[in-house]
Amino acid sequence: MSNRQKHPTSLNFKPQVVQNTLALPCVAQSAWRLDDESGLSWLQAQWQAKQPMRIVGGASNLILPPILPGQTVLMALKGITVIEETTQNVLVRVAAGESWHEWVQQSLNAGWFGLENLALIPGTVGASPIQNIGAYGVEVGQRIECVTVWDFSCGQIKVLSADDCQFAYRDSLFKKPEGQALLILSVSFRLLKQASWRPVLDYPDLKPLAQSALTNDLVVSPQSVFDQVVAVRRRKLPDPALTPNVGSFFKNPLLSAEHFDRLRQQYPGLVAYPQADGRAKLAAGWMIEQCGWKGRRVGAVGVHERQALVLVNLGQAQVRDLLALAHAISEDVLGKFGVALEIEPICWA
């Protein structure tokens, strides 16, 4: 343990640029890398002194303001630990600062399956439960056994079960007011061994994989699901390193069955997915495209040409440009379909 971590108050807290996948200009007034849990007691004192505090992981699902006041904690805790292992499954604790995609690759290489549908999602492991990342038929909450947090309200480490985390579509306890005193330290995943693993191939983009396996009398492997998800994402979604973005900018709205039926009579082409609770999840990207926004540019921001749910920074965009574009899109969707869109990333601007 370094001297720096033992005595965080001796650090010279300097303003620091916060790199983010939207490439928005953002400077943290005082940033600090948390790479050791020994810094938590110092953070606790900051919290009690009512210093504004923000935790930043990969900054891949954040809309940042030009200045972040108070303390900004750059999450850098590392480590992957097997907690228990049987012939059927394994429980693995992964520190919050690990890269999500690298962890997915490592889990596959180790023969632990269940995360392959969630390949190539940018960001950190610690951010994954916050918005309950989901793609191609799997949500991370289905694979999480528990989340270990530092609870600033009592200055203690706590272990939250998956139920405690209140996972829902792009939502969890960590996005709610009562979750704001929690700093995620690690996430524990229950993953399957080959013998008990079954592929999840219901999502339309993965059906060809199931079909080709059937035709050629092949068994679908976790690696082939991973490869297919990576290929689909590369085809549809812009690489944030080349075209800055935060993935889907809006949630897919959930409508009651009767609201959906009424809307579908008006718009027979409406794309939607039935939910277990009877509601319908509308494809917001389809509605945005119908409003003529797909591929449109407004100054330094635009709507991606292959996926209308993704807004992109085309150059020197400011956060206000992006929010103005989001507002214009939402107004059009509301005007045409009578459906309100909700911004999906966390907005601190």
**Distance of closest approach, residue 160 Cβ to ligand EPU, in angstroms:** 23
- Nearest in space to 343 (alpha carbons), one of 329, 335, 332, 124: 329
Residue (60 or 89) nearer to ligand EPU, CB: 60
**Distance of closest approach, residue 249 Cβ to ligand EPU, in angstroms:** 8
Residue (39 or 122) nearer to ligand EPU, CB: 122
Interface ranges with ligand EPU (CB under 6 A): 135-136, 203, 205, 236-237, 247-248, 251-252, 271, 283, 285-286, 289, 294, 307-309, 344
First CA to last CA distance, the chain: 36
Using an 8 Å Cβ cutoff, are 134 and 140 in contact?
yes
Q: Examine the residue annotation and report whether 342 is marked as an active-site residue of this protein.
A: no
Residue (251 or 279) nearer to ligand EPU, CB: 251
Phi and psi dihedrals of 74, rounded to 5?
-90, 110
From the candidates 107, 188, 248, 330, which is the catalytic residue?
248
Question: In Å, how far are 116, 118, 251, 302 from 101, measured between CA atoms?
Answer: 10, 8, 22, 26
One-letter amino acid for residue 193 of the chain: K
Q: Examine the residue annotation and report whether 248 is marked as an active-site residue of this protein.
A: yes
- Nearest in space to 199 (alpha carbons), one of 180, 225, 176, 179: 225
- Nearest in space to 115 (alpha carbons), one of 151, 139, 79: 139
**Distance of closest approach, residue 24 Cβ to ligand EPU, in angstroms:** 16
One-letter amino acid for residue 212 of the chain: S
- Nearest in space to 286 (alpha carbons), one of 321, 246, 337: 337
Q: Examine the residue annotation and report whether 170 is marked as an active-site residue of this protein.
A: yes
**Distance of closest approach, residue 146 Cβ to ligand EPU, in angstroms:** 23
Q: How many CB atoms lie within 10 A of CB 98?
A: 23
In angstroms, rounded to a whole number, what is the distance separating the alpha carbons of residues 163 and 161? Answer: 5
56 - beta bridge partners? 74
Residue (71 or 307) nearer to ligand EPU, CB: 307
From the candidates 170, 190, 233, 279, which is the catalytic residue?
170
Residue (92 or 291) nearer to ligand EPU, CB: 291
41-80 burial: b if 16+ Cβ within 10 Å, else e: ebbbebbeeeeebbbbbbbbbbbbeeebeebbbbbbbeeb
Three-class secondary structure of residue 227 per DSSP? helix
Q: Which residues are catalytic?
A: 170, 248, 344
